[in-house]
């Protein structure tokens, strides 16, 4: 039995309230010992206070895939969305158990971006937002640019950010200290910070992703460097005590070579989520935005989310708004 796995339970008892349900209900497993399970009823996600129940292990069953799909549709039709404060209260009540990522589809504007989904880790304050928009529209503290080692501007999103930032940004990039005689200002996998110039944010964090080879089949070393680029960008944000940051996709353009777009996006999202979970590294950040811009990127991200949910790594709420149906406003 995994944490936060949807199960069918019988004889749910809440000792504090005296509640005793002698029938069947659906719940999320929170803690397992040899004899009993502590669970939270799915329906209690739509109430003001958490409802925790003690259930005998013999009264808990895994749900079949068909039943899980029915439940997801039931959740999708609910009129009340999940309150993050409930998730926090629930986790505080069971401090030894960490609630896994919960993804909720939304449609709202935040910091100048069209946000289509939010990923909450209930025991942490940082929220990872998925935006279907260009990162140059971000009005928060900093954006992350997919730069090259020279850090003076290139093609793709790097060139567009350089253009939107104007002369002040271009000059700031030129003034970055040289690390090597061949014009390197930032090594692959690392990140450096400059002012944002004419951009609506305050800073630009230039993260250098790997240039994937067309011959390499596994890309193992390059994928590690890509993960490091995301992690170091978050560290640069922490060094300046920033509250919000917007990521473009790193190494997802011409640098991608024959590496699949899905793999590149997946590594980036995993790097952000793993850094959020190790909260001591990025404790200042409240909002992280992961931006996809093209329809191809959106489709790849949707496939990643669906695979993570089927594998139990991500719980989906409000599934009536899948990513593939979202459009920029």
Catalytic annotation, residues:
158
For residue 147, list its beta bridge partners: 208
Q: Which are the contacts of 37, defined by CB distance < 8 A and separation ≥ 6?
A: 1, 9, 29, 30, 31, 54, 55, 56, 57, 60
> DSSP readout, 96-161?
TS----EEEEEEEEETTEEEEEEEE-TTSS-EEEEEES-GGG--SSEEEEEE-TT-S--SHHHHHH
Angle at which helices 261-277 and 295-310 cross, to 10°: 60
H or E stretch including 23? strand 19-32
Nearest of 310, 299, 214 to residue 265 by alpha carbon: 299
3-state secondary structure of 291: strand
Q: What is the largest CA-CA distance in the chain?
A: 75
DSSP 8-state symbol, 47: S
Cα–Cα distance measured from residue 274 to residue 121, given in angstroms and rounded to the nearest whole number:
11
Q: Which are the contacts of 65, defined by CB distance < 8 A and separation ≥ 6?
A: none
Q: Which are the contacts of 254, defined by CB distance < 8 A and separation ≥ 6?
A: 155, 156
């Amino acid at each position: 039995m995994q944490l936060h796995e949807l199960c069918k339970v019988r004889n749910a008892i809440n000792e504090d309230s005296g509640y005793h349900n002698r029938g069947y209900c659906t719940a999320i497993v929170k803690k397992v010992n040899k004899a009993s399970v502590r669970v939270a009823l799915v329906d209690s996600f739509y109430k003001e206070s958490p409802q925790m129940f003690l259930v005998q292990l013999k009264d808990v069953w895994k749900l079949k895939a068909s039943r899980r799909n029915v439940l997801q549709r039931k959740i999708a039709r609910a009129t009340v969305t999940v309150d993050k404060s409930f998730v926090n209260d629930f986790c505080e009540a069971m401090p030894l158990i960490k609630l896994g990522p919960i993804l909720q589809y939304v449609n709202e504007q935040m910091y100048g971006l069209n946000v289509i989904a939010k990923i909450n880790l209930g025991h942490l304050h940082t929220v990872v937002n998925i935006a279907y928009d260009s990162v140059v529209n971000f009005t928060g503290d900093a954006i992350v640019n997919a730069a090259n080692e020279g850090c003076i501007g290139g093609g793709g999103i790097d060139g567009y950010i350089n253009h939107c930032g104007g002369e002040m940004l271009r000059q700031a990039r030129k003034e970055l200290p040289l690390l090597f005689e061949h014009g390197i200002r930032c090594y692959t996998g690392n990140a450096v910070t400059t002012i944002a110039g004419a951009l609506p944010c305050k800073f630009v964090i230039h993260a250098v992703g790997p240039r994937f080879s067309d011959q390499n089949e596994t890309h193992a070393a390059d994928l590690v460097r890509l993960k490091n680029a995301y992690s170091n960008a978050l560290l640069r944000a922490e060094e300046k005590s920033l509250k919000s940051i917007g990521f473009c996709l790193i190494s997802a353009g011409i640098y991608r070579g024959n590496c699949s777009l899905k793999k590149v996006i997946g590594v980036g999202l995993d790097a952000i989520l793993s850094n959020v979970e190790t909260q001591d590294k990025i404790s200042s950040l409240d909002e992280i935005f992961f931006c996809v811009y093209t329809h191809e990127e959106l489709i790849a991200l949707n496939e990643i989310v669906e695979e993570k949910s089927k594998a139990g790594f991500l719980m989906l709420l409000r599934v009536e708004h899948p990513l593939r149906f979202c459009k920029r406003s």
